[in-house]
Structure 1
Amino acid sequence: MRRFLTLTKPDKTWRSIAAYLGYDPIEGKHKVVCLPGDKIWEDCRVLTLGSGQEQWRSIKTSLDHHPYTDSYGRCINGVLYYKAGIDNLPGQSQAVIMSFDVRSEKFHAITLPVDTIGGLLIAYEGRLALVHSDYVNNGITFWVLEDAEKHKWSDKSFLVPFSHTDPVLKAKFKLSGITDTGEFIYLPSTFLRSFYIKYYDPEGNSFRTVEFKGVADREFRHKSGLGNRRVYALQTFPNHMDNLMSLCNT
């Protein structure tokens, strides 16, 4: 929509903030969920976008936890997922995946399928999946959430038919996401101007390489103040589509 909305800080005492965007497909509402990222908290702040009175509301989380601010949340079929830690014993924190039902505004903790919080949260065939990449042996292992209430996961493993370090393209590739058609997306860890993206299809055990041009051309780099510096921390939005339909009345 090319519109920007500046949100007020929900609590002035929060030094670090974790914010997530969720969408309820039934009522067609977007909600922003915000929690402090540096301490255990018993409630969060929720704001409904487009409500006319955009104000933060306090919602009980039902489970005291702190979100991991170095990871991104994923909203799938009206449920927002993000990584978090809960304190079971003094000085001990258990890693979990928290879910937030955007419509009912209820929280639920999901036990991890493995004893590590590492990995990438993705949407796989309409369900949440936790993906681990083995960059040494060029493999992928991921767990698909089958039943959140029963903490039931199924697992799959693949060997990627290419090296994550490409001497020809002079780049190291890192798993970043997955497309609607099931292709895993690998991005370079850094680039200067144009760059390459690799797509891996686990069903056909094949991959393709696509050159991406124009994002960091001379004009863009001059306006953004990049100069000749390399770009890091590239992010993907694999299933994003632009709608070119005019919203103006004729």
Structure 2
Amino acid sequence: MKTGHILRTTLPQPQETISVKGSPCSGYRSYLGYDPLEGKHKVLFMSRNEYTDQPRVLTLGAQESWRIITKGRCPMHFSSIGGYGRCFNGILYYEAFDTDGHRIIMSFDVKYENFNLIKILEGSYKMPCHMILYEGRLALVHKRTYDPNLDLYILNDSTGDEWLHEECCLHILAGLCLNGVTAAGELVFTSTENESLYILYLNPRRNMMREALFEGIVGGDFRSRYGLCSNFGIYNISVFPNHTETLVSF
């Protein structure tokens, strides 16, 4: 059996960190991006409580300090408190708000360190919502737990002014929760109704599905073996679609 290894990198403390209500760290978010052309990882760091047009960036492995993005190259915004980021083909996308308080998506070109503000179609961004790469374009996926309908909003142009809406109705999805997306673009759904863990992988591009069933995963033997309390339920299990045994060195 192969043993996985996790490589941990300690980042330097950003200089001139602004304290937010007495806590220097709680009001900030960071995002990891990757440039496949030069093989570089970069970390984007900014406040999540204040508007900014000068986020900091750090290139991993370059033995350099945090740099402030040149003023004027980034629209004024602040990152979403509960939002997350995803990187596709060298472009990092993350949830944010513009100066009017509207929910937006910011894109960050990891190689050239340029930003672009992407407007979200009003009413299209519902929670929970996942970012995926769909036919080479950014897409937002929304799925209610007990609803067979799947809403797919596809960015039609690079400026972020036009979105296409596709709706998929599969009765097999009713009762399943959307818990992420794989690197191959498959949507990952899990069951929350019984003691067995049921996982469904849906590829919306090819309209193909595959499934996996783990029986008794939250039964008495499972709880006893791992020291879990008796009220442990399937909803307590996290799903990591893109887990790998070994991470490349930064």
User: Which interval holds the TM-score relative to the shorter structure?
Assistant: 0.7 to 0.9
Aligned to 2:181: 178
Aligned to 1:78: 90
Question: Structure 1 residues 18, 151: closer, same or farther in 2, change over 3 A?
Answer: same
Question: Structure 1 residues 149, 137: closer, same or farther in 2, change over 3 A?
Answer: same
Question: Structure 1 residues 77, 214: closer, same or farther in 2, change over 3 A?
Answer: farther
Aligned to 1:221: 226
- Aligned ranges for residues 7-26 of structure 1 at < 5 Å? 7-10=11-14, 11=17, 13-14=19-20, 15-26=26-37
Aligned to 1:147: 157
Query: 1:190–1:232: 8 Å Cα contact kept in structure 2?
Result: no
Q: Deviations over 1:170-220 (max 9, x none)?
A: xxx21123345553210245997x622122344676644312479985688
Which secondary structure state, in structure 1, belongs to the residue aligned with residue 123 of structure 2?
Answer: coil
Question: Whole-Å Cα distance in 2 between the matches of residues 200 and 161 of structure 1?
Answer: 13
More RCO (CA 8 Å, sep 6+): 2
Q: Quick one: which amino acid aligns to residue 50 of structure 1? A: G
Which of 119, 138, 151 aligns to 1:111? It is: 119
Question: Whole-Å Cα distance in 1 between the matches of residues 125 and 166 of structure 2?
Answer: 18
Query: 1:187–1:234: 8 Å Cα contact kept in structure 2?
Result: no
Query: 1:96–1:117: 8 Å Cα contact kept in structure 2?
Result: no
Normalization by structure 1: what TM-score? 0.76
- Aligned ranges for residues 100-249 of structure 1 at < 5 Å? 100-118=108-126, 119-149=129-159, 151-165=161-175, 173-179=176-182, 182-188=185-191, 195-202=197-204, 207-212=209-214, 217=222, 221-222=226-227, 226-228=228-230, 229-230=232-233, 232=236, 234-238=238-242, 240-242=243-245
Q: CA RMSD in A?
A: 3.3
Q: Quick one: which amino acid aligns to residue 226 of structure 2? A: R
1:66 matched to 2:78: yes
Q: Deviations over 1:148-185 (max 9, x none)?
A: 225232222110231532xxxxxxx2112334555321
Question: Structure 1 residues 18, 102: closer, same or farther in 2, change over 3 A?
Answer: same
Question: Whole-Å Cα distance in 2 between the matches of residues 114 and 65 of structure 1?
Answer: 18
Aligned to 2:7: 3
Normalization by structure 2: what TM-score? 0.76
**1:124 Cα offset (Å):** 2.0
- Bigger proportion of residues as strand: 1
Question: Whole-Å Cα distance in 2 between the matches of residues 219 and 72 of structure 1?
Answer: 34
**1:134 Cα offset (Å):** 4.0
Q: Quick one: which amino acid aligns to residue 75 of structure 2? A: L
**1:74 Cα offset (Å):** 1.0
Q: Quick one: which amino acid aligns to residue 221 of structure 1? A: Y
Which secondary structure state, in structure 1, belongs to the residue aligned with residue 156 of structure 2?
Answer: strand
- Aligned ranges for residues 36-47 of structure 1 at < 5 Å? 36-47=47-58
**1:46 Cα offset (Å):** 1.0
**1:7 Cα offset (Å):** 2.5
**1:4 Cα offset (Å):** 0.7
Give the unaligned 5+ runs of structure 2. Answer: 21-25
Question: Whole-Å Cα distance in 1 between the matches of residues 146 and 229 of structure 2?
Answer: 34
The count of residues paired between Structure 1 and Structure 2 equals 229
Which of 44, 47, 50 aligns to 1:33? It is: 44
